[in-house]
Structure 1
Amino acid sequence: MGSTSAVHDLVIAHYLEPLDWVLEVPESYRVHIYDKGAGPVSAAVRARADTFVSLRNVGRESDTYLTHLLEYGPGTGEFTVFAQGDPFEHSPDFLRLLATHADWADVQALSWCWKESIGYPPPLLLTPERSTVPGLRVRTELFSLNTFQPLEWVDTGAEGIGRGYRDLHRLPEGVNMCAHFLDMCELPDIAELAEQHMVGTHSYGAIFAARNHVIEKIPERALVRLRQAAFGSDVHGYFCERLWLHIFGESFQLPLTA
């Protein structure tokens, strides 16, 4: 069952996606599958998994990730990787990227796009020189902490999410919504840093890795509040997705001028 010699953990938020790809995950990873669907999962995939847990289908992948951290905490190895049941739509080189961990930062984005097939982001932005991992496809997106919009193109979906969050919390235009969300989730130090900046960085599809020693720094009460937020309005799940890298220590960008 699973891999007894593993040094990293892979947490998979599964719904109905085929999971045969899990059999190609390097043996250096313990695999944790959280299933929110009713689709069949093969005996071979279940045998490869160190953890297989059924969850009710609420809270998007944020609930899945937070459930893992609250139940099991960070792994005993070096990295924990977080991924969707089908990571390849967002991260076409995902399996190959798992073998590059020696070069990862403490918080490592592992995705390339939202949906390349529909031009999100536009093809002009998805060129080899844009990748932060030579020979593989990894690209982070810069976005406004005040509007939720990416800096380089117009994302109507993100615009709607930002508007929905402002309406839900009755916030005026110009408020740093990401700082508001972080403070609401009892991450005041990170919220203060966000308040002092204008730009954040995110990894599409909530596909990323974090060293376990940085995961350990997140207070349990904050994990609980984040999970409660994910159970609430749908917009909260999207805010978790946009802010994961910063929750685990990624720096914000473009400081406010005095």
Structure 2
Amino acid sequence: MTDNAGTHDLVIARYNEPLDWVLRVPENFRLHIYNKGGPDLPMEILERATTYLPLRNAGRESDTYLTHMLEYGPGAGEYTVFAQGDPFEHSPDFLALLDRADTWSDVQGLSWAWKEHIGHPPSTLLTPERSQVPGLRVREELYSLCTWTTLEWVDPGSERIGRTYRLLHRLPEGVNMMAHFLSMCELPDLADECAKHLIGRHCYGAIFAVRNPLIAKLPQRALVRMRQAAIGADAHGYFCERLWLHVFGEPFLFPAPVGGPVIPEY
């Protein structure tokens, strides 16, 4: 039997980004490149990849991730890392983090900010003390499961996406929208747990790592439904991105009061 301890998979959702950086990825990572954009990549990059697959440009990163989980499976190593074609805008220490897998939790966010250079989030929230990995930049963002807004700073974009989803599905104010989405994706137990809480957490850019046995535990039907949702309304792709940590087991926060608005059945 092959010992896969210390080996991992890296799934890259590429659009038009140059991928020269993958040549600096540690050798214990198998690369899976999914190309939704420009021309084929240089041969030296293709030779480094275990998987190279062109895809239609739909569904944001989540469609790519779900395609990998459905077609390739959970992988034989310890972790699968999911990332964009250019992870560094959201995760400036991405390559260094790949060398720190021994410090990761079972579900590990690997990003720091949305766009640090424009203050999203503000610099007051991006201090070394906030990092989950000592010496490197990693943090999770807290957000409302009912409004989709960030909790520690004002993000009009998040508010807009939440409002769009609520209007799209004709949900009343105060409803736990993330629980509604999880129910739509046929994850009823997780939807029920989500409905009992008010706060979620996510990692920017949907850049994260998860132990492969947790991928294997996800029902096939739920993966199919999530992919169908991701390639549908734009808001659905964003909702998938914010739920990955919870889909793989990170708990929701802050219990909801009894007697809140009932979540309509999907």
Alignment TM class, shorter chain as reference: over 0.9
Partner of 1:146: 146
Q: Deviations over 1:25-57 (max 9, x none)?
A: 000100000000124511111110010000010
Q: Secondary structure at the match of 2:238?
A: helix
Partner of 1:206: 206
Letter in 2 for 1:103: T
Partner of 1:174: 174
Deviation at 1:257, TM superposition (A): 3.8
Q: Secondary structure at the match of 2:217?
A: coil
Task: Give matches, 1:205-224, under 5 Å.
Answer: 205-224=205-224
Moved over 2 A (4+): none
| 5+ long unaligned stretches in structure 2 | 259-266
Confirm or deny: 8 A CA contact 1:6 1:27 kept in the other structure: no
Confirm or deny: 8 A CA contact 2:206 2:241 kept in the other structure: yes
Confirm or deny: 8 A CA contact 1:6 1:30 kept in the other structure: no
Q: Deviations over 1:100-150 (max 9, x none)?
A: 111111100000000011111011111111111110000100100000011
Q: Structure 2: how far apart are the matches of 1:119 and 1:236?
A: 26
> Identity across aligned pairs (percent)?
67
Taking structure 1 as the reference length, the TM-score comes to: 0.97
Q: Structure 2: how far apart are the matches of 1:31 and 1:226?
A: 23
Instruction: Please report the RMSD computed on the Cα atoms of aligned residues, expressed in angstroms.
Output: 1.2
Q: Structure 2: how far apart are the matches of 1:194 and 1:6?
A: 33
Q: Deviations over 1:58-84 (max 9, x none)?
A: 111110000000001100111000000
Q: Secondary structure at the match of 1:192?
A: helix
| 5+ long unaligned stretches in structure 1 | none
Task: Give matches, 1:1-258, under 5 Å.
Answer: 7-258=7-258
Q: Deviations over 1:199-244 (max 9, x none)?
A: 0010000000000111111100000000000110000000001000
Letter in 2 for 1:170: R
Q: Secondary structure at the match of 1:52?
A: strand
Confirm or deny: 8 A CA contact 2:8 2:30 kept in the other structure: yes
Taking structure 2 as the reference length, the TM-score comes to: 0.94
Q: Structure 1: how far apart are the matches of 2:130 and 2:108?
A: 16
